[in-house]
Structure 1
Amino acid sequence: MPPIPPKPWTNLLDCTKDASPPLCLSVDEKVIGCEDCLYIEVHSPNLTPEKLMPVMFWMGSYNYMFYIDNNCDPTLIVDQDIVFVRCSSRLGPFGFLSIHDISAPGNVGLKDIVMALKWIQRNIRIFGGDPTNVTLFGSGTGGSMVHFMMLSPMATGLFHKAIMQSSSALNRWALAKNPSQAVLQLAEQLGINKTNNYDIVEELRLIPAYDIMEAYTQLSMGTLKCEDSFDALFKPCVEEEFEGQPVFLNKSPAVLIKSGNFNKVPFIIGSNNIEASVMQYIREDFYADFEKFNKDVTLLVPRSLALDEIYSNKIGRQLLNFYFRETKTLNEHTRTQYLQLLSDCYFLYYVNKTVQFHSQFISECPVYYYIVNYAGEWCVPKQLDFFNSNGHSAEVAFLFRIKPPDLPHCEGSRDSVTTRKRVIRMWTNFAKYGNPTPDENDPLLQITWDPVHDDKTLNYLSIGSELTKGRNPFYERMTFWEKMHEEHLFLRTLVYFNDIGVQW
């Protein structure tokens, strides 16, 4: 159910202990946290500044179920005269279960964040923060959650800038098309034999929360370990409208962007060059079974594009010819090409499309586009080794000092630390001024980051060991995927008409 604000109190509230994280999965794949999780964490460099400071609000969700914020120390951001805020919100089935009924409407994890943003508007001055200058930023599904806030009427007026890292609400895995299906899968995993969705939800309310999260973990990890997929069972959805119940999302993201009816704010958006390389850290045997693609080319086709066997075979051949044009097959030396295919399909195309959409339909707010082309070099424990890649979530180490619980801060190479200083400077500049490079003579940056000009001229900043400028990143690959999606739309229509017996 949607969150309810706490009742006011007059006694002293003890906030000297860390609050528990939400029920979730840790990086070492263990269930941690508890249901009592709606707490806000505030870091301020000065409680009584002469001038109120910008506020940066972090969203760190991954796959709408993983939690790594306990490894992320925001001190370097706070040192830039920033009030840093993050909050726990419900994840997995607790945050995103929906049966399109008032008893489980969906998106309550996002409504948790809205409630936290309202708290900021009322209280952040006490911590030296400026409620009229709030920047949302997030990575992974946290990036898509930032975008959802831009698209939601519930978040209107609660923030003023946004930073989306690695994803947006347009990613196919960001939005549930049929949320009730996940409810049935979870019920089966828990041994619930009811068939009515309402009855299933009532039965779930009688089961201990930890048991529900354990069952969901088994379902989710089975998918992640077996498929090259970044999908989550429980995630945001378009809601039904019920009397007296505020709706977080009432239309699909693409429809809202095209309509122009959303929260228009300047934003930064971008991705890592090879986002899918994170799969190598999720699956130890990743790519060991590459021969299966040579035997059945339809296995190369993402599930979102898979149709019947004939059309899937055609799309698979197109993917093989485009990404493996020299070898025409996959082998032990084509791992990089396969990772690039997955990166483009699941991440880069949708980030690029988000930039184009916003530039096309809403030109009044600047969009700053970036690509990270540099893998950090950090002394991290094995379970955090994905920070030493150019893949999904790796850029988080360029914003935070990585400090695993009960361990010292993880040190990095000279270039890694310099890149982190640059990213923090640009991100906090944007929070302060709406421009990541307001001083062209800044000795740390020595560059002017140009915003996107229009939907055909996508200026971007390449973040490597040095900062460089470019235009229309991955142009050939993005053009290929645009044609693929256009053709897929036609093929899906063709299959639909064939299924209902139309003669050609």
Structure 2
Amino acid sequence: MDSGRVVFVFAIFIQCLSFTQSFYGWTSEITLAQGKLRGKVDWSNGYKAYLGIPYASVTKRFQEAGSAPAWNGTMFAFNGSIKCSQYFEALKTPIGQEDCLVANIFTPMKEFSYLLPVMVFIHGGGHDFGSNTDLIFNPKYFVQKDVIVVTINYRLGAFGFLCLPGTEATGNIGLKDPIAALQWIKNNIQAFGGNPNTITIFGESAGAASVHYLITSGKYEGLFDKAILQSGSILMPNKFDPNPIKAASIVASKMGYKTEDPKELLKIFQNASATDIIEASRVEGKNQPLKLYIFRPCEENPEIENKSLITATPRELIESSILDPNLDIILGYNDKEGIKQAGQYDSNGLKDLNSTLSDIIPENLIFRDESQKEELTQDIRNFYFQKGVDYDSLIDFFSDTVMIYPSIITTNSFLSSNITVYNYYFKYDSLRNLYKFVSGLPLKPGATHADELFYMFDPIIFNFVPVLPPMENDLRMINTLTTLWTNFAKTRRPSSFTTPEWIQSKKDNLRFLQLDTEFKMIPVPNKERFQFWDRVYKKYSWF
């Protein structure tokens, strides 16, 4: 099972317990244009939470979000676990709802004489699963440092990323939902004590890719002025689909239809039940982790759709986008990102890879013929797998291809636009690296994909698993990370008393703050591996 889904599953299991523990009373009333609102108070953790606030409405499938709904009387905003339609792996069943566009807002308990900086978080999950649930993304460590945190939902899978050119399903709805959320936040956050002119957006994995897409589209202007990309960018090989009709056709075939006609496909998806769409979209990840998520961002036609968000391939976007140099960015990744993918192989799958190595070549590479593909396969074998495919070499391979090379190229693209970039390299390892411990390879050293999240958020599961309290070093990492992130949100400079000065990266001199038991500035980690892929991508065509 995907590690993110495991954590998601466990969080839902203890949902009732979490509400009982954290609810102690109601906040005073807030008045929005939509209606009156009360949140819940968590006295023990020192914050107020306004949960499940609708920032927009879903009036029709595959269409942009409608206006935020109004309500009569006072809304008691306590439901922090509304989910968009998706597959729930633990019970092997679809869950969620199509009208799911809500925000959770967390504010400090104490009152301030000034408006607070705002941080808006976009969750990951391959654009396929996940939510803004407060059971996982409880931001008390951030809020205790005097910022307001907003976590948002956006539509997933086919509901957010069905892309049928020439039809009203233009695609990328799951990227346009966050724009609607940011517009709502801009207009309403002052009622919660937030500064609408000091908004930092941050996301992890697919959430980071969403942030990057918003930046390259230019449609973020006026909505945020700082961004944090954690383990994700639009250059990740699986964050763009050059042939979305094929993907839709595959899912339609599982529902009993055979067609590649966009208009026919639209009717099929419009008339199908949410349950049928979700079940037909599910992919088993065992021994094929790169094929998990069918629906992805796609290119729209700006001449037909006047609200297009993505109008070119990722490579073309980073090469042609004119970016605002006043946008400051933190961008980084974890040292063993690839544990997530490697852990989905069993011993037979590992053995089979020795003869099917070409199956894991990054899918955004394009080959003139099979001989070119075989040539690269042999180069990969010689560089990573001289002694055969094992877990350690596979971890390095996936770390480099899925995350590290795309992140460094993304950094260089930002620097070319004179944007200030702070790079980080997270490698801290403890029992709080929960994603690694459910990955299938729990004993491998290092931090896998998403492991840094549990040093930023305090999942409610830790409050009910006493064998996993944060140790002294864990608390030090929690304090350091959240201090760096909140100081960036407040001042544009990520700083902390526990770290050296975080030096900005320059075009020909990338510098990384290593986040481990020791904090220090380092050059590009594993530079020879980056150089290998730089030669590859310069030699072969890619999108």
**TM-score when normalising by structure 1:** 0.86
SS at match of 1:95: helix
Give the stretch that moved more between structures: 192-201 or 116-125: 192-201
Q: Report if aligned partners of 2:85, 2:97 keep a CA contact under 8 Å in 1.
A: yes
Q: Does 1:57 align with 2:120?
A: yes
In structure 1, the partner of 2:412 is 356
Q: Is the 8 A contact 1:378 1:413 kept in 2?
A: no
* CA 1:387–1:9: 2 relative to 1, 3 Å: farther
The one of 306, 310, 323 aligned to 2:371: 310
Q: How does 1:70-85 map to 2 (within 5 A)?
A: 70=133, 71-85=136-150
Specify whether residues 429 and 387 from structure 1 end up closer, same or farther in structure 2 by C-alpha distance, changes over 3 A only.
farther
Q: Distance in 1 between matches of 2:216 and 2:513?
A: 25
Cα deviation, residue 253, structure 1: 3.5
1:398 paired residue among 444, 450, 455: 455
2:529 is the counterpart of 1:466: no
1:295: how far off? 3.9
Give how far 1:230 is off.
Answer: 6.0
Q: In the TM superposition, what whole-angstrom CA distance separates every residue of 1:302-347 from its partner, at most 9, and x where no partner exists? A: 44447444222221221122124xxx2316xx42122101211111
Q: Deviations over 1:64-118 (max 9, x none)?
A: 1121643221111111111000111100000010102341011111111111100
Amino acid at match of 1:255: E
Residue in 2 that maps onto 1:88: 153
1:475-494 matches, within 5 Å, as 475-489=527-541
- Asked if the contact 1:154/1:247 (under 8 Å) is kept, the reply is no
- Aligned partner of 1:479: which letter? Q
Is residue 159 of structure 1 aligned with residue 209 of structure 2? no
Distance across 2 between alignment mates of 1:304 and 1:413: 42
Q: Is the 8 A contact 1:387 1:394 kept in 2?
A: no
Over the matched positions of the two proteins, sequence identity in percent amounts to 25
Corresponding residue number in structure 1 for 2:308:
247
Unpaired stretches in structure 1, ≥5 consecutive residues: 494-504
Is structure 2 residue 333 aligned with structure 1 residue 276? no
Pick one of 258, 275, 280 that aligns with 1:215.
280
- The alignment's TM-score, normalised by the length of structure 2, stands at 0.80
1:257 aligns with 2:318: yes
Partner secondary structure for residue 162 of structure 1: strand
CA distance in 2, matches of 1:145, 1:339: 25
Aligned-residue RMSD, C-alpha: 2.7
**In the alignment, is residue 5 of structure 1 matched against residue 71 of structure 2?**
no
Shift of 1:241: 2.6
Deviation at 1:405, TM superposition (A): 10
Please, which runs of 5 or more residues in structure 2 have no aligned partner? 1-62
Aligned-partner Cα distance in 2 for 1:405–1:202: 45
Task: Work out the CA distance in 2 between the residues paired with 1:85 and 1:180.
Answer: 34
- In the alignment, the residues of structure 1 paired with residue 124 and residue 161 of structure 2 have an alpha-carbon distance, to the nearest angstrom, of 13
Contact 1:373/1:464, CA 8 A, preserved across alignment: yes
Q: Assess if the C-alpha contact under 8 Å between 2:166 and 2:262 holds in 1.
A: no
Shift of 1:132: 0.6
Residues 279 and 286, structure 1, Cα contact 8 Å, conserved in 2 = no
**Residue type matched to 1:291 in 2?**
K
Which letter does structure 1 place at the counterpart of 2:311?
A: N
More helix by share: 1
Task: State the alpha-carbon separation in 1 of the partners of residues 78 and 381 from structure 2.
Answer: 57
Q: Deviations over 1:228-263 (max 9, x none)?
A: 416621111121136674222223343333334245
- Contact kept, 8 Å, 1:74 with 1:84, in 2: the verdict is yes
Q: Say whether residues 1:375 and 2:434 are aligned partners.
A: no
